[in-house]
Amino acid sequence: MARITLLAFAIVTLILAAQAPVAAQNPVVVELFTSEGCSSCPPADALLVKLSEQQSKDGTQLILMGEHVDYWNYVGWTDRFSSKQFSERQSEYASALHAQVFTPQMVIDGQDPFVGNNAADVNARIAAAAKKPKPAQVALGWEGNGRLQVTVHAADANKGNVLLAITEDGLSTAVQKGENGGQTLHHAAVVRQLSEVGSLKNGAFDKTLDVSRQNDWNATNLKVAILVQDPSSKKILGAAVIAYAR
Model pLDDT for residues 85-107, shown as the tens digit of each residue: 999 999 999 999 999 999 999 99
Q: Report the C-alpha gap between 83 and 179 in whole angstroms.
A: 19
Q: Report the C-alpha gap between 210 and 55 in whole angstroms.
A: 25
pLDDT-wise least confident of 15-29, 73-87, 136-150: 15-29
Q: Report the C-alpha gap between 239 and 26 in whole angstroms.
A: 9
Do the Cβ atoms of 102 and 115 come closer than 8 Å?
Answer: yes
Query: Of 66, 37, 50, which Cα lies nearest the Cα of 191?
Result: 66
With bands split at pLDDT 50, 70 and 90, how would you rate the model's confidence at 57? Answer: low
128 or 112, greater pLDDT: 128
Helix (H) or strand (E) holding 211: none
3-state SS assignment for residue 49 = helix
Backbone angles phi, psi at 220, to 5 degrees: -60, -30
Is the model's pLDDT at 37 over the cut of 60?
Answer: yes
Give domain limits for the chain: 22-243
Q: What is the mean pLDDT of residues 172-183?
A: 97
Is the model's pLDDT at 16 over the cut of 50?
Answer: no
Please state whether the peptide bond connecting residue 231 to the residue before it is cis, i.e. omega within 30 degrees of 0.
Answer: no
Do the Cβ atoms of 1 and 120 come closer than 8 Å?
Answer: no
With bands split at pLDDT 50, 70 and 90, how would you rate the model's confidence at 25? Answer: low
Query: Of 210, 229, 169, 225, which Cα lies nearest the Cα of 24?
Result: 225
108 or 156, greater pLDDT: 108
- pLDDT on residue 208: 97
Q: Give ∠ CA 57-59-62 in degrees, rounded to 5.
A: 50
Q: What is the mean pLDDT of residues 60-73?
A: 96
- pLDDT on residue 56: 67
Is the model's pLDDT at 42 over the cut of 90?
Answer: yes
- pLDDT on residue 53: 92
Do the Cβ atoms of 198 and 148 come closer than 8 Å?
Answer: no
With bands split at pLDDT 50, 70 and 90, how would you rate the model's confidence at 10? Answer: very low
Q: Mean of the per-residue pLDDT values for the chain?
A: 90
- pLDDT on residue 175: 98
Is the model's pLDDT at 24 over the cut of 90?
Answer: no
**Per 3-state DSSP, what percentage of the chain is helix, strand, and coil (rounded to 5)?**
25, 40, 35
Q: Report the C-alpha gap between 176 and 37 in whole angstroms.
A: 10
pTM: predicted TM-score of the whole model, two decimal places: 0.89
State the maximum Cα–Cα separation within the chain, in Å, rounded to a whole number: 70
With bands split at pLDDT 50, 70 and 90, how would you rate the model's confidence at 17? Answer: very low
